[in-house]
Structure 1
Amino acid sequence: MEIAELGVESAFLITPDVHSDHRGLFLEVFSQPVFERAVGHRLSVAQLNCSVSRRGTIRGMHAIALPGQARYVTCAQGGIVDVVLDIRIGSPTYGAHVAVELTAANRRALYLAEGLAHGFAPLTDDATVVYLCSSTWSPGAEVIINALDPELGLPWPADGPVQSEKDAAAPSLREARQLGLLPTLAECQARYAELAELTLTR
């Protein structure tokens, strides 16, 4: 398994070793020891989500106010483009994004730390996404950025978009900052240090 940090700090692409033979294939989707060595702390899993979406759908961009929710995402069926957006005020990559394709064929996964926003869109007629979450869903703490914010220019597929009413009504990144909804990089780094310290003391 290979874990490499992407162009936005605290977002990582996981490429597993896939072992295949005449019976099918086997891979480790997640390995706590490998993850901990690459990221610097353990991933504490509080919730496992499964989302099935049809082509044309855009889900996102979602985050949870600090202490936040880290996510470890993979695509079990079909394929998606998964987009991570840096919404941490003061970050050198604030407002920047990275996009990766996660498919049932490449078996890759994506990890994004607390303080990063996340969204995805299917590249196939149907896509099943499974993701581990470090905390349970907290509707009162949810932060949503409009995935179609023209200032962000996020790379969604041409078909669609089909959004939930909540996602379609979400503020732009600029508006969310003016509303005081966004975390700072310093707050997020303090959270990452806290997680690293908890890992060392276990």
Structure 2
Amino acid sequence: MQLHRLDVDGAFLADPVIYPDDRGHFLELFSQPAFQRDVGHELNVAQVNCSLSRRGTIRGLHAVALPSQARYVTCPQGGIIDIVVDIRLGSPTYGEYVAAELTETNRRALYLAEGLAHGFAPLTDEATVVYLCSSTWAPGREVQINALDPELNLPWPVTPEPLMSEKDRAAPTLREAAERGLLPDYRDCQELYARLDGLAVGGDRR
């Protein structure tokens, strides 16, 4: 397994080695040594979530206020587009996004560091998403950005009226969230990343 840096700092795409045979195939969904080698520190897994979504759904954009929550996302059934948005105030890539297709065929995974937001939409009739989280659910620290924010103009593969939760549909735009003081600060995130890297033996995120 190898994790590749994406254009938003703190976002990585994991490509596993798939071993096929007559029975099917085998792969590592997650490897702590590979993760630490490529990201710079271990991923502490405090919670594992699983969701099933049908075509036309958008889940997100979701993040967690600092000390925040890192996530490692994969799609074992069906396929999704997962979009990571940099919502860290002061970041060189603030307001920019990266998108990746995670499917039951490519078996890729997407890692997003603390302070980044993400959302996903199925590319198939149904899709199961599993994500490893570095902290447990903290409802009081949730940060939500409207996935249909016209300024972000994200490439969702859905109709003009996607299936969304009431909370997601009512979420503020990125500009509104910034004005309300809801967004994490890039410098604070960098300090957090440095502390995590300092706990690791070797490796450098930057």
How many pairs does the alignment contain? 201
Summarize deviations over 1:93-149 as a string: whole Å, max 9, x none: 100000110000110000000000010000000000000000001000000000000
How does the TM-score come out when normalised to structure 2?
Answer: 0.96
Structure 1 residue 197 displacement after superposition:
1.9
Aligned-partner Cα distance in 2 for 1:16–1:60: 26
Which position in structure 2 is the counterpart of 1:165? 166
Q: Give me the whole-angstrom Cα distance separating, in 2, the residues matched to 1:72 and 1:49.
A: 10
Aligned to 1:86: 86
Q: Which runs of 5+ in 1 are unaligned?
A: none
SS of 2:200's partner is helix
1:183 alignment partner in structure 2? 184
| Other-structure match for 1:25 | 25
Other-structure match for 2:128: 128
Cα distance between partner residues in 1 of 2:146 and 2:40: 31
- Match of 1:96? 96
Counterparts of 1:189 and 1:81 in 2: how far apart (Å)? 27
Partner of 2:56: 56
Structure-1 separation of matches of 2:194 and 2:47: 22
Partner residue, 1:12: 12
TM-superposition CA deviations, 1:56-97 (whole Å, max 9, x none): 000000000001000000001000000000001111110000
Deviation at 1:158, TM superposition (A): 2.9
SS in 1 for 2:42: coil
Who is 1:70 aligned against? 70
Give the aligned partner of residue 143 of structure 2: 143
> How far, CA to CA, are the matches of 2:21 and 2:14 in structure 1?
22
Structure 1: which amino acid aligns with 2:85? L
Corresponding residue for residue 110 of structure 2: 110
Deviation at 1:195, TM superposition (A): 1.0
Q: Which amino acid aligns with 1:46?
A: A
Give the Å deviation of 1:164: 0.1
Q: Any runs of at least 4 consecutive aligned residues in structure 1 with deviations exceeding 3 A, and if so which?
A: none
**8 Å contact from structure 2 (residues 56, 163) kept in 1:** yes
Q: Which amino acid is 1:161 matched to? A: P
CA distance in 2, matches of 1:187, 1:127: 35
- Amino acid paired to 1:192: Y
Q: What residue number does 1:196 align with?
A: 197
Residue 34 (1) aligns with residue 11 (2): no
Q: Is the contact between residue 57 and residue 158 of structure 2 (CA under 8 Å) also seen in structure 1? A: no
Percent identical pairs in the alignment equals 69
CA shift, 1:188, in A, is 0.3
Query: What's the CA shift string for 1:139-196, capped at 9, x where partnerless?
Result: 0000000000000001101334110000000000000000001111100001111111
Offset at residue 2 of structure 1 (A): 1.8
